[in-house]
Structure 1
Amino acid sequence: MKTRKKLLLVAPEVTYGAGADIADAVLIIASELDSSPYEGDTVTRDRLRQTFGAVAQANAAPYTTVTATVPAAGSGTPGVAPNYGLLLRACSMSEIIEEGVSVTYQPVTDDAESVCVWFVEDGQLQKVPGVRGTVEWSFTAKQYPTMSFTFTGFYSRPEALTEAINKTPENIAEEFVVNKQNTPGRSVHGYEGCLQSLSLNIGNTVNYRALVGCESVQVTDRESTGSVEIEAPNIATKNYFEAIESHQAITLEPVSLTHGTVAGNTITVAAPKVQLATLSRSDSDGIVHYSMDMRLNPDQGDDEFTIKYT
């Protein structure tokens, strides 16, 4: 099999864990795609005997993981969700559509959705029902923006692909490079400096559970984090040392980024209460940069950040 002949398809599940029909699936554009087709907790069949040697192990709770790097872009039409919106919803995010205007995603605690995924690899495919996961966004200067997904779902044995996948991606535009022209807005605790990178991780805790009569993938916790690298400002302009201090008081301020200038393909990341921490220095073309970790705190709840497409 050839390494690059891979596809990722996804469809919503009406009933959790029941899977879906591949005819209803959408094709997701991915720049990186991989799977661990047969994971699980093993149990050893211990035996006492007269000689040394291995004993058999059984996989007591088989499951599958799929990882994918997906370009971050809009659908191309304001108020229409990008096709990978299904993946975001499977990462415990709500989808709010304002017709003709915008689509907004933000974390949720309850009523997590699920999807069915098909991992296709050069003549064979593995159907993975009951999928939920976590995601991280990356916006780095002079690179394309990406989302890195890690999904967990039920195991089923890979099979030969009997029919060609005749699908084309829909509701997805081409991504733009992160740079001055394409990324017009940024603010880190009120300072609009020269930004090198911004990453954001929803930080879902994803657990596969296998009990007698029950099988599920559950998102049981969330701790959203991120990081930012910015050209070091003059301390009189912006004092990031004061911002990272937490021994007397904790500073929570907004962080935001707007990427894109075209209707239907503009992404705005906004986090209202971000704590900065662990400042470190680096050199970039002879210029000092500050790298800081971010902890994204909720305001009223389930609102640590939003990803808005306009």
Structure 2
Amino acid sequence: MKTRKKALLVAVEASYGVSPDIATATLLTISELDSSPYEGDRVERTRLREQFGANAEINVAPFTTVTATIPLAGSGAAGTAPNFGLLLRACGLAETVTPTTSVSYTPATDDHESFTVWFVEDGQLQRVPGCRGTVEFALTAKELPTMKFTLTGLYQRPVAHATALAQTLVNIVDEIPVNKANTVAFSVHAHAGCGQSLSVNLGNTVTHRHLIGCENVQITDRAVAGSVEIEAPSIATKDYFALLESHEQVTLGAVDLTHGTVAGNIVQFALPKTQLSSISRSDSDGIVHYAMDLRALPDLGDDELTITFK
């Protein structure tokens, strides 16, 4: 099999773990794709013998994980969800559509949707029902923005699949590089200096449960975190050391980034209450940069992060 001949499709499930027909699935744009097709908890089937020798190992709770790096871009039309919005929903993000204007995603604690993904690899296919997952966003200057999804689902044995996929790509445009021209706003605790990068990890705890009469994948917790790197300002301009100190009090502030200038391919990250929890220095072209870890805290609940496509 050729390693580059891969594809990923996804469809929402009406009932948990019950896959719709693959003909209804959405084809996704993928830059990297891999899977662990047969994971699970293993126990040894112990046997005593007169001779030495290994015992069989039994997978008592098989499941599958799929990792996919997807370009971060819009659908091409404001108010239309990008096709990878299905995976954002699989990561416990609630989708709100404002027709002709925007599509936003915010964390949800309850009522998580489930999805089936199909992992296609040069003539074979593995259907993975009951998927839920987590995602990490990366936007770095002079690079292309990405999302890395890690999905966990129920195990199904891969099968031969010689038929060409009928789907074509819809509701997606090409990503644009992160730079001054395209990334029009970036501020960290109200300081809009020269930015190098923003990463945001949704931080879901995703658990496969395999019990008597019950098997599913659940999102059981969430802790949104990430990091920022910026050109170091003078203390007179912005004293980040005072902001990140937590031994006397915790200071919260917003982190905001808007990438894109053309309607249909604009994405905005808003983290209104972030704690900067560490700081380190680095050299970039002879200029001091600060790299700071961040934690996004909720206010009223399920509001620590909003991702808006416009």
Q: Distance in 1 between matches of 2:73 and 2:244?
A: 32
Give the unaligned 5+ runs of structure 1.
none
Q: Deviations along 1:179-237, whole A, 9 cap, x unmatched?
A: 00000001100000100000001100000000111110000000110000000001100
* 1:121 and 2:142 aligned: no
Residues 62-77 of structure 1 mapped to structure 2, 5 A cutoff: 62-77=62-77
| 2:299 counterpart residue number | 299
Q: Structure 1 residue runs of 4+, over 2 Å off?
A: none
| 1:98 counterpart residue number | 98
| Preserved CA contact (<8 Å) 2:124 2:160 | yes
1:278 is displaced (CA, Å) by: 1.2
Q: What TM-score, normalized to structure 2? A: 0.99
How many residue pairs align between the two structures? 310
Q: Distance in 2 between matches of 1:140 and 1:280?
A: 17
Amino acid at match of 2:168: T
Q: Distance in 1 between matches of 2:114 and 2:247?
A: 41
| 1:204 counterpart residue number | 204
Q: Distance in 2 between matches of 1:265 and 1:162?
A: 35
| Preserved CA contact (<8 Å) 2:90 2:133 | yes
Give the unaligned 5+ runs of structure 2.
none
| 1:261 counterpart residue number | 261
| 1:283 counterpart residue number | 283
Q: What secondary structure sits across from 2:144 in the alignment?
A: coil
Q: Deviations along 1:155-177, whole A, 9 cap, x unmatched?
A: 00000003111221100011110
| 1:141 counterpart residue number | 141
Q: Distance in 1 between matches of 2:31 and 2:243?
A: 36
Q: Distance in 1 between matches of 2:298 and 2:180?
A: 30
Q: What TM-score, normalized to structure 1? A: 0.99
Residues 145-294 of structure 1 mapped to structure 2, 5 A cutoff: 145-294=145-294
Q: Distance in 2 between matches of 1:213 and 1:43?
A: 20
| 1:40 counterpart residue number | 40
Q: Deviations along 1:55-98, whole A, 9 cap, x unmatched?
A: 00111000000000000001010100000000000000000000
Q: What secondary structure sits across from 1:184 in the alignment?
A: strand
| Preserved CA contact (<8 Å) 2:23 2:166 | no
Q: Distance in 2 between matches of 1:88 and 1:203?
A: 13
Q: What secondary structure sits across from 1:278 in the alignment?
A: coil
Residues 52-67 of structure 1 mapped to structure 2, 5 A cutoff: 52-67=52-67
Aligned residues: CA RMSD = 0.6
1:53 is displaced (CA, Å) by: 1.0
